[in-house]
Amino acid sequence: MSNVKIRDVRAILTEPEPGSRFTVVKIETTEPGLYGIGCASLRTRPQAVKVAIEQYLRPFLIGKDPADIEDIWQSAYVSSYWRSGPILNNALSGIDEALWDIKGKVAGMPVYDLLGGKAREAAAVYAHASAASPEEVEDQAHGFIEEGYHFVRIQVATPGFATYGASGGEGRDRDPQDGPKWITTKAEPADDKYAYAQRAGVYEPKPYMRSAISLMDRIRSSVGWKVELIHDVHERLPTILAVDFAKEVEQFKLFYLEDLLPPHEIGWYERVREQTSTPMAIGEIFNNPLEIVPLITGRLIDFVRTRLSPIGGITPAKKYAAMAELMGIRTAFQGPGNVSPVGQAAHLNVDLNISNFGVQEEAIYSEKIQEIFPGAPTIRDGFMWSNGEPGLGIDINEELAAKYPHNDEGGGHFDNVRRADGTVVRP
Ligand code: MG
């Protein structure tokens, strides 16, 4: 027990770039100047997270000792009786990361030191080579290799169809007036650069499979074996086609195939494992331990790909990572541009400590974002580096953040992709 107590808890919402929609929790203590920040960014439902933090967790936390992270996590987790889910876990993550930040500042140590120290100097990141044509993807991949990257994720538009992870090109679309009928539309590049061009349009699995396989063939032949390649299926393939796809891409020796199947189809990973040694990374939309734990204990995946905020922060992440380590499984935490720099700093601190780190998804933050978040992790030569400052090593300029309120117009939905008859394709 210390004399320091939690004095206030706030959610700070800021959207400095379209679609970024960051939510950051600030915990202030009774010790003047001692505070911590954490990431609670759920860009599709930020107002719900804010309510969970300020209306429900704030009164629960005020007066508690910020040093008791484990106790606070456990008691807050069950304080709603019904628990988990993206809203409650993101809220809890904001609290948890802020408490680790405070503990580090009190100790005068970076969080990775509190966790046991560095297992590596910097965290290798992967870059995104994503374009309308295979030629452009190839150019981008070579550009990244020249910049020093060792890991590149490759995505290309499927000619004539909606695709995850790449924009542009002519596409078949549904006619919103007439219903199921093939029409041809010109896909506009997405204005929301964080959305990875979820162009609403018709998705068909086989054309996607052929274009992705042909891209992997081209890029592997072009870059040789000096770089690791990653590809994201985005959980859209029908189950037996997913097994088939994983088998067919085995020849390209990917670092991993990402999100082959959605959380409601995890039972199929046994079928995949029986058929192929293509490495599997899964977990970015997982938020309940019941989803990821059987995949780890069954040694059915190769990389845990959760992001920290939907699972509840650093406290659960270190447990998942330890369990994965004992099963010979590595991590590949999700970190796209809609993870706040505070969340990315939390990823980095865990990445640096754990022995079974695989790779970290990179987020490139604009100068504007870096100005709002002084101390944001930097990327150099294909690695993300810590500044070694106490806590998470990052701060927020609240005055500047307030200049960019969330744009809640339209609600911020993740666009639906549909089959030709209008059926929603579940990611
Ligand atoms: Mg993914």
Cα separation values, 173 from 29, 44, 191, 209, 424, Å: 54, 24, 19, 18, 13
Q: What is the pTM of this model?
A: 0.92
Q: Are 246 and 260 in contact (CB under 8 A)?
A: yes
Give the pLDDT band (50/70/90) at residue 1.
low
Residue 347 bears catalytic tag: no
Burial of 320 (0-12, 13-18, 19+ CB in 10 A): buried
Burial of 190 (0-12, 13-18, 19+ CB in 10 A): middle
What is the Cα gyration radius of the chain?
Answer: 21
Report long-range pairs for 74-79 (Cβ below 8 Å, ≥24 apart): 77/312
- Tell me the CA–centroid distance for residue 63 and ligand 1, in Å: 39
Residue with tokens 């085995």: 250
Q: Are 138 and 111 in contact (CB under 8 A)?
A: no
- Tell me the CA–centroid distance for residue 284 and ligand 1, in Å: 6
Q: Which of 133-142, 198-207, 210-219, 259-268 has the lowest mean pLDDT?
A: 198-207
Q: What pLDDT is attached to residue 15?
A: 96
Report the SS3 class of residue 39: strand
Percentage of the chain exceeding pLDDT 70: 91
Q: Where are the beta strands (DSSP E) in 121-224?
A: 123-131, 151-156, 170-175, 179-186
The correct CATH number of 123-390 out of 3.40.50.2000, 3.20.20.120, 3.30.360.10, 3.40.50.150 is: 3.20.20.120
- How far apart CA 342 and CA 187 sit, in angstroms, is 34
- Tell me the CA–centroid distance for residue 187 and ligand 1, in Å: 22
Would you tell me the crossing angle of helices 134-147 and 205-223 to the nearest 10 degrees?
40
Residue with tokens 């002084």: 374
Q: Are 68 and 60 in contact (CB under 8 A)?
A: no
Q: What is the DSSP string of 336-390?
A: -TTS-HHHHHHHHHHHHH-TTB--EE-----HHHHHHSTT--EEETTEEE----S
- Tell me the CA–centroid distance for residue 260 and ligand 1, in Å: 9
pLDDT (tens digit per residue) in 314-343 = 999 999 999 999 999 999 999 999 999 999
Burial of 179 (0-12, 13-18, 19+ CB in 10 A): exposed
pLDDT (tens digit per residue) in 72-102 = 999 999 999 999 999 999 999 999 999 999 9
- Tell me the CA–centroid distance for residue 128 and ligand 1, in Å: 12
**Catalytic choice (35, 164, 203, 320):** 164
| Residue 386 identity | S
- Tell me the CA–centroid distance for residue 381 and ligand 1, in Å: 23
Length of the chain: 427
Is pLDDT above 60 for 200?
A: no
- Tell me the CA–centroid distance for residue 40 and ligand 1, in Å: 19
> What element of type H or E holds 219?
helix 205-223
- Tell me the CA–centroid distance for residue 131 and ligand 1, in Å: 16
Q: Are 89 and 309 in contact (CB under 8 A)?
A: yes
Q: In the predicted model, what is the mean pLDDT of residues 162-189?
A: 52
Alpha helices in 64-167 (DSSP H): 69-77, 86-107, 111-114, 134-147
Return the structure tokens found at 37.
């920040």
- Tell me the CA–centroid distance for residue 197 and ligand 1, in Å: 13
Q: Are 36 and 102 in contact (CB under 8 A)?
A: yes
Q: Which has more confidence, 401 or 160?
A: 401
**Catalytic choice (128, 231, 234, 347):** 234
pLDDT (tens digit per residue) in 3-47 = 999 999 999 999 999 889 999 999 999 999 999 999 999 999 999
Residue 413 bears catalytic tag: no
174: Cβ contacts below 8 Å, ≥ 6 apart:
180, 181, 183, 201, 202, 418, 420, 422
Report the SS3 class of residue 151: strand
> What element of type H or E holds 331?
strand 330-331
pLDDT (tens digit per residue) in 120-161 = 999 999 999 999 999 999 999 999 999 999 999 999 998 888
